[in-house]
Amino acid sequence: MKDFSLLERRLGVSFKDIDLLRQALVHRSYLNENPGFSLPHNERLEFLGDAVLELVVTEHLYKNYPNPEGELTNWRAALVNAIMLSRIARDLELEDYLYLSRGEAKDAGSKARQYILANAIEAVIGAIYLDQGMAIAAEFISREVLIKLPEVLKNKTYLDPKSRFQELAQDKVGITPHYLVLDEQGPDHAKQFRVGLYIGEEFVAEGLGSSKQEAQVSAAEAGLKVKSEWQ
């Protein structure tokens, strides 16, 4: 059995019922290979934790920022999306405690692992809420999630990649970037687009996607990495 006492110290929470914390780290795939395992998977805890997280973040933004609802919605999304939550989960080293199938355990760097980690941190929040109550859950969210808000506002990660790249390009070089379709492959029902991102005549990056819009977003994400010195 995994020793969860170190994880409790990392989380800053001492559980009355340690099985709630253990359950928060049980992925459905583990039970497929271990049907006799004593705990259910974490999806119900994730459902609960998602609601607690959204309420605490929303209340904090509402009470502390007079900005319009649309802006606050974007800020909240940047704090509770899979990229941010998986990063927080990795910082807390939740990955070491996940109960995963052998196949999932090998897939460490994948997009699927990012979502597993994001879901796990929501499940942990649900477990803290059930075990310790709203005040302790809110303290944890403040300590681990809301602390990222200044970084989100400074780097403008609440903007979608295309908007972020456009704003940076206009600020740094005074030019609005544009996108060109470089290639299309596949039948109409399963096309794959390759799109290039340009600033004037300068090729910056390219992206792939099943639609032109998706490929443009991918190119903008790549462009943000290429022009990382702008940020």
Predicted local distance difference test score (pLDDT) of residue 216: 94
% of the chain exceeding 70 in pLDDT: 98
* Judgement on whether residues 26 and 96 belong to the same structural domain of the protein: yes
Q: Do the bridges between strand 178-185 and strand 202-209 make them parallel or antiparallel, or are there none, so unpaired?
A: unpaired
- The identity of residue 229, as a single letter, is E
Among the candidates 130, 155, 180, a domain finishes at 155
pLDDT confidence tier of residue 159, bands split at 50, 70 and 90: confident
Model pLDDT, residue 197:
97
Q: 194 pairs with which residues across the strands? A: 183, 208
Instruction: Output the pLDDT for position 1.
Output: 62
> In the numeric block, which tokens belong to residue 44?
């119900």
Query: Does one domain contain both 40 and 140?
Result: yes
Q: Is 26 helix (H, G, I), strand (E, B) or coil?
A: strand
Return the amino acid letter for 228: S
- Kindly state whether residues 189 and 151 are assigned to the same domain: no
What confidence tens digit (pLDDT) does each residue in 160-192 have? 889 889 989 998 999 999 999 999 999 888 899
Asked if residue 190 and residue 146 are part of one domain, the reply reads: no
Residue where the block lists tokens 């705990």 = 39
Residues 184 and 71 in one domain: no
Q: Are residues 82 and 168 in the same domain?
A: no
Do residues 43 and 116 both lie within one domain?
yes
Decide: 206 and 222 in contact? Cβ < 8 Å: yes
Look up residue 216 and give its two tokens: 């443009």
User: Distance between CA 208 and CA 215 in Å, rounded?
Assistant: 4
Q: Is the dihedral of CA 37, 43, 44, 46 positive or negative?
A: positive
> What is the average pLDDT score of the chain?
93
Q: Which of 17, 43, 46, 50 is catalytic?
A: 50
CA distances from 155 to 25, 124, 188, 218, 230 (A): 31, 27, 38, 18, 10
124 and 30 within one domain: yes
Tally of structural domains, the chain? 2
* Coil, helix or strand at residue 217: helix
pLDDT, residue 21, reads: 97
* Contact criterion met (CB below 8 Å) for 194 and 187: no
Q: How far is CA 72 from the centre of its chain?
A: 17
107 is catalytic: no
pLDDT the model gives residue 177: 95
Q: What is the pLDDT of residues 74-121, one digit of tens each?
A: 899 999 999 899 999 999 999 999 999 988 888 776 778 999 999 999
- In CATH, what number is assigned to the domain containing residue 184? 3.30.160.20
Q: Which listed residue (122, 131, 144, 206) is catalytic?
A: 122
pLDDT class for 131, splitting at 50, 70, 90? very high
Q: Domain containing 51: what range?
A: 5-155
Same domain, 67 and 151: yes
- Note if 122 is an active site residue: yes
Q: Are residues 108 and 138 in the same domain?
A: yes
Residue scoring higher pLDDT (163 or 122): 122
| Domain limit, last residue, from 115, 135, 155 | 155
- What's the rounded mean pLDDT across residues 12-37? 95
Cα 205 from Cα 183, distance rounded (Å): 14
We report the CATH number of the domain holding residue 43 as 1.10.1520.10
Q: Clarify whether residues 26 and 48 are in a common domain.
A: yes
